[in-house]
């Protein structure tokens, strides 16, 4: 988990996030994570990148081999590719629920406290989901 200022884009954060992970099979991300560098970082981790190409991406992909493989895979079987890509929807749903129920802003001013505040929100959300699931008998 990384807390940044509001001016830092997603594209630059993927490397840091990948460093904290063990073995992974794939990485799904929206166009905010789309870059040649991120495709290479994901493949270097031994995983397959599913970073959504922009609507007007060139027909012939130009760039490193990791980028070309991802774009070719997307074009070859878009339905199967999108099925992998949409696994990110589960994470997006959780982020949305946390923001709706616990607020979308962090109130702490110190960076270390902001990270603790965010971690607390995630823990509270997870406990809430767990309680609701046990009440329903899931």
Q: Is pTM beyond 0.85 here?
A: no
Nearest partner of 101 among 134, 132, 127, 125, judged by Cα: 125
| CB distance 32 to 13 below 8 Å | no
Q: 19, 43 in Cβ contact below 8 A?
A: no
Sequential pLDDT tens for the chain (138 residues): 566 666 666 677 788 888 888 899 999 988 888 999 999 999 999 999 999 888 877 777 788 999 999 999 998 999 999 998 888 888 888 888 888 988 888 888 888 898 899 889 989 999 988 998 888 765
What residues does each domain of the chain span? 10-86, 89-135
């Amino acid at each position: 988990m990384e807390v940044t200022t509001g001016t830092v884009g997603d594209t630059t954060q993927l490397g840091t996030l990948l460093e904290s992970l063990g073995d992974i099979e794939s990485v799904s991300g929206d166009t905010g994570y789309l870059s040649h560098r991120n495709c290479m970082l994901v493949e270097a981790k031994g995983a397959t990148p599913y970073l959504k190409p922009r609507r007007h991406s060139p027909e012939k992909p130009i760039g490193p081999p990791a980028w070309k493989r991802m774009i070719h895979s997307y074009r070859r079987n878009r339905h199967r590719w999108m099925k992998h890509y949409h696994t990110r929807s589960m994470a997006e749903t959780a982020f949305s629920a946390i923001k709706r129920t616990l607020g979308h802003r962090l109130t702490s001013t110190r960076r270390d406290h902001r990270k603790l505040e965010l971690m607390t929100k995630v823990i509270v959300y997870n406990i809430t989901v767990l309680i609701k699931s046990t009440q329903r008998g899931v």
